[in-house]
Structure 1
Amino acid sequence: MSYKIIVDSCGELTKEMKESEVFETASLSIDIDGHHIVDDESFDQKEFLKIVAESPNCPKSSCPSPEAYMEGYHCEAERVYAVTLSAELSGSYNSAVLGKNLYHEEYGEKDIYVFNSRSASVGETLIALKIEECEKKNLSFHEVVRQVEEYIEEQNTYFVLETLETLRKNGRLTGLKAIVATALNIKPVMGATPQGVICQLGQARGIKKALVKMVDEVVKDVKRPEEKTLAISHCNCLERAEAVKRMILEKISPKKVIILDTAGISSMYAADGGIIVVV
């Protein structure tokens, strides 16, 4: 049976995923100072970061419409899966579910399932790859869904950013105590709760110490690392991502490591210099 995996554009795709006919991106968009930027193959990270750096305003994102998801589901594939960024952080999940309902009304029955990643960025990447792995084992549709949902339950997301301003101004830090120590160069170590809500795990003075603390959190939480893929995304800071990779590999031995540059939405929230780790 044929299948298709739609990943909203907060999730980065590897080169192999882009070349495969299995994966498709549902593009979010970004607006800032009259610039409307579609988060697709045309996204220029350096130009985007330049616009953000020169602007006093905060960029805003928009999720794909339910109709866009519906059209994505309308294909020859017999089974379609969608992976969206955390429903607590974006309307993309609800839009994908509405698109599924619209599809059933318009075209009838079909096996479609929408996964709430409860993560973002490379967290979505890993979930999409897990779906592909399950499909290659010729599992039933319901068994794929069950195994991938179990995988999501075990997945952990961590990040250290140079600034949390975009997250704060877009209301993504609701419920967190205010972080006011910017003048002291205090960098929070952030993560996601099991429900996909952003939380603070710790903090350190300076980005290097914060990254070390993040690595400690990764190592402390991971279960059966030898079975896991470690994924790192970075916003315009490959050397920093490589350093994080080395620190983690000194302590655990994952099955595989993926390092990707952030796409548009992840670049918007991670900001220049941000690092995201998912395992």
Structure 2
Amino acid sequence: MSFHIVCDSCTDLTKEDFAKGCYTWVPLTLIVDGEEIMDDETFDQASFLKKVAESRKEVRSACPAPEKYMEAYDQADDIYVVTLSAELSGSYNSAVLGKNLYEEENGKKNIYVFNSRGASTTQLLIARKIYEYASAGMKFEEVVEKVEAYISTQRTYFVLETLEVLRRNGRLSSLTATLAGALNIKPVMEGTRDGVIQKLTQARGMKKALSRMVESIVKEGRDLSRRILAIAHCNCPQRAEFVKNLIEKNLDVGEIVIIETKGVSTLYACDGGIILSY
């Protein structure tokens, strides 16, 4: 049986992933002061960051319509779907509705929608885990079971230059964002197991905050020797390398990959943001 992996565009897939021929990206729409920008292959990060920096009104994303997911469900016998956390976006519900509509028209099919309970690097690692299992010839039900078990063990952290876009979109309290901006305090944020965002710790200045983030991972004491750790950066490759070097000095990790944020992740991470998942 053939399989295909459908991902919303907050899944920061790389050219190497797409080259495998089994991934389809369903783009969200980015909205800056009324201008709609598709998060697809036409996305220009530099231009977009400039628009966001100059924005004085609306900066947000809009999830894909169920019909967009439906179109992607035709491509194989087994369809696996990876979306943003259902607690942060409507993308998951749209993908599920697309599944229901597809099956009403075409009959039952192996379609499973994973709630990543995260974003960006979280989704990337889930998509790659699906590929690992499905390409090894595992049955649909076994892939679903093993990937859901994997998701339950994932952790995601991030440190951003500014929390303003998250605040404006109701993801954070205004107090947290205001204090962070006024005092150069950089909160280390985490995605909880329930798929929401909360503050873990904080430090003054970006380097100290990134160091504090790595300290938190070390303190957790997990065996990461067989896990892949993904670092996404928004226009700051040097910071990503700084974090990678810190991790390599303090932890035994199976593999570390560095990726660039695409559209949705760029919107919320903002210029200079770092996201880390394992």
Please give the TM-score of this superposition, normalised by the length of structure 2.
0.96
Q: Are the equivalent residues in 2 in contact too, given 1:230–1:256 (CA < 8 A)?
A: yes
Aligned to 2:208: 209
Q: Are the equivalent residues in 1 in contact too, given 2:156–2:191 (CA < 8 A)?
A: yes
Instruction: Provide the C-alpha distance between the structure 2 equivalents of 1:36 and 1:102, rounded to a whole number of angstroms.
Output: 26
Instruction: Provide the C-alpha distance between the structure 2 equivalents of 1:65 and 1:222, rounded to a whole number of angstroms.
Output: 41
- Give, as a single letter, the amino acid of the residue that structure 2 aligns with 1:116: N
Aligned to 1:59: 59
**Do the aligned partners of residues 33 and 179 (structure 1) sit closer, same or farther apart at CA in structure 2, a change above 3 Å counting?**
closer
Residue by residue over 1:183-235, the C-alpha shift from the partner in whole angstroms, topping out at 9 and shown as x without a partner, is 22111000011011001000111111101001111223363211100100010
Residue 154 (str. 1) matches residue 149 (str. 2): no
* Distance apart, 1:179 and its partner CA: 4.4
- Give, as a single letter, the amino acid of the residue that structure 1 aligns with 2:3: Y
Aligned to 1:119: 118
State the aligned residue count: 277
Q: Are the equivalent residues in 2 in contact too, given 1:126–1:231 (CA < 8 A)?
A: yes
SS at match of 1:227: coil
State the identity as a percent. Answer: 55
Aligned to 1:15: 15
* Distance apart, 1:44 and its partner CA: 0.1
SS at match of 1:200: strand
Residue 25 (str. 1) matches residue 36 (str. 2): no
Aligned to 1:198: 197
**Do the aligned partners of residues 179 and 34 (structure 1) sit closer, same or farther apart at CA in structure 2, a change above 3 Å counting?**
closer
Instruction: Provide the C-alpha distance between the structure 1 equivalents of 2:58 and 2:192, rounded to a whole number of angstroms.
Output: 25
Aligned to 1:47: 47
Question: Over aligned residue pairs, what C-alpha RMSD do you find?
Answer: 1.3
Q: 1:178 aligns with which of 154, 176, 179?
A: 176
Runs of 4+ with deviation above 6 angstroms: none
Q: Are the equivalent residues in 1 in contact too, given 2:162–2:177 (CA < 8 A)?
A: no
SS at match of 2:5: strand
Aligned to 1:81: 80
Instruction: Provide the C-alpha distance between the structure 1 equivalents of 2:36 and 2:144, rounded to a whole number of angstroms.
Output: 35
SS at match of 2:43: coil
SS at match of 1:155: coil
Residue by residue over 1:9-31, the C-alpha shift from the partner in whole angstroms, topping out at 9 and shown as x without a partner, is 01111221121210110100111
Q: Are the equivalent residues in 1 in contact too, given 2:92–2:113 (CA < 8 A)?
A: yes
Q: Are the equivalent residues in 2 in contact too, given 1:58–1:166 (CA < 8 A)?
A: no
Q: Are the equivalent residues in 2 in contact too, given 1:52–1:58 (CA < 8 A)?
A: no
Aligned to 1:267: 266
SS at match of 1:188: strand
Instruction: Provide the C-alpha distance between the structure 1 equivalents of 2:220 and 2:66, rounded to a whole number of angstroms.
Output: 36
Residue 95 (str. 1) matches residue 100 (str. 2): no
**Do the aligned partners of residues 180 and 33 (structure 1) sit closer, same or farther apart at CA in structure 2, a change above 3 Å counting?**
closer
Unaligned runs of 5+ in 2: none
Residue by residue over 1:95-126, the C-alpha shift from the partner in whole angstroms, topping out at 9 and shown as x without a partner, is 00000000100111110000000010011000
Instruction: Provide the C-alpha distance between the structure 2 equivalents of 1:183 and 1:35, rounded to a whole number of angstroms.
Output: 29
Residue 144 (str. 1) matches residue 143 (str. 2): yes
Unaligned runs of 5+ in 1: none
- Give, as a single letter, the amino acid of the residue that structure 2 aligns with 1:275: I
Aligned to 1:35: 35
